[in-house]
Chains A and B, each alone.
Chain A
Amino acid sequence: MSMADIYLDNNATTMVDPLVVEAMLPYFTEQFGNPSSMHSFGNKVGRAIKQAREQVQILLGAEHDSEIIFTSCGTESDSTAILSSLKAQPERREIIITQVEHPAVLTLCEYLEKDGYTIHRMKVDSKGRLDLDVYRRLLSDRVAIVSVMWANNETGTLFPVLEMAELARAAGVMFHTDAVQAVGKVPIDLKNSAVDMLSVSGHKLHAPKGIGVLYLRRGTRFRPLLRGGHQERGRRAGTENAASIAGLGRAAELAMENLAYESTAVKTMRDHLEEGILGVVPNAFVTGDLDNRLPNTSNIAFEYIEGEAILMLLNRAGIAASSGSACTSGSLEPSHVMQAMGIPYTAAHGTVRFSLSRYNTTEEIEGVIRAVPPVVAQLRKLSPYWGEDSPVADPEKVFAPTYS
């Protein structure tokens, strides 16, 4: 990787901001104390954690800093929230999620299904949108928790979580949202919402990997996942990851400062990228809800070619992105998100997600706009579905391999 490489995979993970690294360094060296200790070694570390908690509180618009629980990652926060709701309300045996949740929620729910829980997986339409009438009908006193992501990681599509949380509250049901893609990209004001729990992942907002947050509204019935020490007021035992907590605090502060930049400058670059590619490449389209999505995410389906091959050629051109193809994950089917939206296989395997950050530049975007068309053309030349400069007539009939 050279410095010239263009990183457009920020929904996977982000670069740690140099200011964040700076904020963390003392906690690897002289500030090594355990915040639980009575002596001065631990004391300063304890103060740093307190400061970070307040910085995260501000970013989330939480009413109290004690509503912020530091965890190891977004997945831990998701598991803690869902399992807590089941432990606290053993008589409630149903969970409402969507078909397009992150595996952190989907796989856990599949596992819970084996234990006899009923999982309602709400469908999405071709743009990835939910039907709130269906949701209203699912809410009942049998439901332990609703867990719906704030924004989808693949398409950036935003869900109406604030409205859904109000509906859940009115029905007496707990509401959790996996907001790892939304925090730092869209404004969040939890004190004026009905959200009970919310998951944050540090490495999605320029903090390091291995640190996350579970927001837990004061008064929400809670059962910890990890029991042991009194850390995080006994709600998440285990010695604090002090350096990463300090880093996340600083990252939250920087995210707050850059929030407007995300929805203006970053969004402008994203839109320019889309127009630049779609203006030149035929048989390509953007997936998701175009009018209601994260400002940094663009998911483009290139028909009749496969995503991993696109990524390998882009990577050679110094461009990093990701794909919803089966091959990039080693699974047998393309992304569950693309399937839920009914994207045909010939396009779903060719989806490429470009996700920007505040570190990208217009020059980089221009470079990507130049690099993508020849990559697509090169692979289409190999594709049995592609003719001279357009798909063969009736592609699915002309090429119908055995056991398809």
Chain B
Amino acid sequence: MWDYSEKVKEHFFNPRNAGAITDANAVGEVGSISCGDALRLTLKVDAETTIILDAGFETFGCGSAIASSSALTEIVKGKSLDEALKISNQDIADFLDGLPPEKMHCSVMGREALQAAIANYRGEEWQDKHEEGALVCKCFAISDAMIEETVRSNDLRTVEDVTNYTKAGGGCSSCHEAIEGILTRVLAEQGEVFHVQAPPAEAQPVAASRDSTMTNLQRIRRIETVIESIRPQLQVDNGDVELVEVDGNTVYVNMSGACSGCQVISMTLGGIQQRLMEELGEFIKVVPASQMSQLARAGI
């Protein structure tokens, strides 16, 4: 049995807003009957204010699909359409105190039903950008479709590349065989052979020397800008990063929220380091601020 939160169980056993609402003026139907999850969302939208006055759902699906549908209807009621469109699948999962990685697609289905219903109300055509794939990396809920797509569009060569681009394989590593299988298949289609020791996707973008026209202040501001641009991505996963100090080629940062203590913190740091190197065109080492004094003592 899945490890469902109490909130998921509660919304499954006692779903809110079950059934279609009779005077609905927005309908969204999404899902995949082959996968066993499908949802019809009906909304009553106030024409003046675009506030969602009422919401109802009909769901063919598992416990978490029904709970996600119930949660969705609770979240959207009272919101304007523009506010509702900002709801992410993570918001639905958070409302339910989380979903197992294999079940995150239920929250995605909820968000898509909402988008489809709003498009229906506005007379627009809703485009499905949904990727349907089997879950490969259970640590980060990455599907084979996502990995395959990323491998193709970025000419990835190794498991490490895949981890750098998608996070897949960055946790417990038990999916590495499956990732190698995808690489083998995609590379074979391109007439290539998968090698474990292949060089990384693109040469490390480290310039021989840094832009000497930059002042120290300009350089630090540039580093700040890069870190600011990375923060939203981390915030999506409930994490954050803060610049603490720049000492020569070493950039000290504080990781917080879900990032601190995260099992892939070194990978996240690696990603930040990579971005800084690309932007500044010089070698940069990103180190957690907690190591600042130790490193200073050691004279590094």
Whether both chains belong to one complex is answered with: yes
Residues of A within 8 A of B (CB): 304-309, 311-313, 315-316, 325-328, 330-334, 345-346, 349, 381-385, 399-404
Interface members, chain B 266-296 (any A CB < 8 Å): none
B29 within 8 A of A: yes
Interface size (B, Cβ < 8 Å)?
Answer: 41
Q: Check A384 against B33 for contact (C-beta < 8 Å).
A: no
Q: Check B36 against A326 for contact (C-beta < 8 Å).
A: yes
A308 to B62, CA, bound (A): 5
A309 touching B30 in the complex, CB below 8 Å, given contacts A382-B15, A402-B126? no
Q: Check A309 against B29 for contact (C-beta < 8 Å).
A: no
A330 to B136, CA, bound (A): 11
B21 within 8 A of A: no
A309 touching B63 in the complex, CB below 8 Å, given contacts A382-B15, A399-B29, A402-B128? yes
30 A-B pairs with C-beta separation under 8 A: A305-B60, A306-B62, A308-B63, A309-B65, A309-B66, A312-B12, A313-B13, A327-B36, A328-B62, A330-B135, A332-B34, A333-B34, A346-B33, A349-B36, A382-B59, A383-B60, A384-B38, A384-B39, A384-B40, A384-B58, A399-B38, A400-B29, A401-B29, A401-B31, A401-B39, A402-B31, A402-B116, A402-B126, A403-B32, A404-B34
Tally of contacts, chain A with chain B, CB under 8 A:
114
A312 to B62, CA, bound (A): 9
Main secondary structure of the interface of B (DSSP, over half): mixed
A331 touching B134 in the complex, CB below 8 Å, given contacts A349-B36, A384-B38? yes
Top 7 closest A-B pairs, CB basis?
A: A327-B62, A330-B102, A308-B62, A384-B58, A349-B36, A401-B31, A401-B29
A127 to B168, CA, bound (A): 40
* Contact string against A for B residues 51-80, beta-carbon threshold 8 Å, 1 for contact and 0 otherwise: 000000111111111100000000000000
A312 touching B15 in the complex, CB below 8 Å, given contacts A333-B35, A345-B34, A399-B38? no
Which of chain A's residues have a CB closer than 8 A to the CB of B258?
A: none
Which of chain A's residues have a CB closer than 8 A to the CB of B60?
A: 304-306, 346, 349, 383-385, 399
Which of chain A's residues have a CB closer than 8 A to the CB of B58?
A: 382-384, 399
A333 to B34, CA, bound (A): 6
A312 to B37, CA, bound (A): 16
- Across the interface, A327 reaches (CB within 8 A) one of B33, B40, B57, B61, namely B61
Residue in chain A with minimal CB distance to B35: A332
* Contact string against A for B residues 207-221, beta-carbon threshold 8 Å, 1 for contact and 0 otherwise: 000000000000000
Q: Check B36 against A403 for contact (C-beta < 8 Å).
A: no
CB distance from B71 to the nearest CB of A (A): 14
- Residue from B38, B59, B100, B134 having most chain A Cβ neighbours under 10 A: B38
Q: Check B36 against A306 for contact (C-beta < 8 Å).
A: yes
